Amino acid sequence: MATISKENYLKTIFQMNNANGKLVTPTELALELNVSKAAISEMAKKLSKQGYIDYQKYNGIKILSKGRKIAVDVIRKHRLWELFLIETLNLTWDEVHVEAEKLEHYTSDALIDKIDEHLKFPNFDPHGEPIPNKEGNFRAVCNDISMKDCKVGEKYLITRVNDRFDDLMKYLSEINISLNKEILILNKLEFDGSLLVEINKTKYMLSEKIIESIFVKEMKK
C-alpha cells in the first residue's frame, strides 16, 4: 500500500501531466507541493525505481500506469468526499477541500463505493471536476476553457474552479462566484492580464492568478 506522501506525489504528478499535456519538471513539482527540489529528486528516484513514474533527471517526470491507478483512486475518493460533505453535511464548497484531503487517504474501497452509490454515481464534484468510476475511468470530460482566454464583451458560464487554494475559494464565495454562474467580460488589462467582469450586475476586477483557476464555457447567443 502506498503511503500518504506517495499518494500525494502521484496524484499531483498525474494532475499536472494531464493539465499541461507534458512532462512535469522537478522545479514545477517542488513549487506545487511546497517542498524542496532535493526532496522531489529523492522521492522521484524512489517512485521511478518502484515503477510508478518515469523519471529522467533532465527530461522531467511522467506518470506510469501503476502510478496512475493509485493517483486516480485517490482523486476519486477526494472528489466523492467533497460532494458527500456538501450534500449530506451542508458544508460549503470552500470548506470541503481540506477535509477531503485528509479523508482520501483513510477511506476503504468498500466505503467509497457505498458513498458513490448513495450520491447516485455523480459525474462531477462540487468544483466541477470530473469524478472517476471504480474502474478508474472518468465519467465525463471538461469541455471548457480557462477564464484567462475569455474575450471581452462575451458572456460565459462558470463550469469548474481549481480548489487547491483555500483563500481563493473563500474569496470566490464572498463575491458570489459559483458553478453555473453567468459572467460578462467587460475589459482585459494587457499589462497584467487581469479582467474586469460583471456578475449579478456587480463589477469585479479579477487578477490573472484568480482567473487561471476558473474555467468557463461560452454562452450560446
Same domain assignment for residues 97 and 126: yes
Q: How far apart are the first and last CA of the chain?
A: 51
39 is in which domain, residue-wise? 4-63
Same domain assignment for residues 207 and 176: yes
By C-alpha distance, which of 128, 205, 188 is closest to 154?
188
- Separation of alpha carbons 97 and 78, rounded Å: 8
Same domain assignment for residues 137 and 155: no
Residue 32's CATH number: 1.10.10.10
Instruction: Quote the pLDDT of residue 1.
Output: 46
Residue where a domain stops, chosen among 114, 141, 168:
141
Same domain assignment for residues 42 and 98: no
DSSP letter at 105? Answer: T
**Domains identified in the chain, total number:** 3
User: Which 3-state string (H, E, C) describes 10-28?
Assistant: HHHHHHHHHHHCCCECHHH
Give the pTM: 0.89
Q: Cα 68–71–75 angle (5° rounding)?
A: 135
Instruction: Quote the pLDDT of residue 22.
Output: 81
pLDDT digits (tens, 9 = 90+) for 60-110: 899 999 999 999 999 999 999 999 999 999 999 989 999 999 999 999 999
Residue where a domain stops, chosen among 120, 141, 162:
141
Instruction: Quote the pLDDT of residue 5.
Output: 87
Give the least confident one: 5-14, 45-54, 163-172, 192-201.
Answer: 163-172
Instruction: Quote the pLDDT of residue 102.
Output: 93
Same domain assignment for residues 90 and 46: no
Q: Where are the beta strands (DSSP E) in the chain?
A: 53-56, 60-63, 145-146, 155-161, 182-188, 195-199, 202-206, 214-218
Residue 3 has pLDDT above 80, yes or no: no
Instruction: Quote the pLDDT of residue 163.
Output: 85
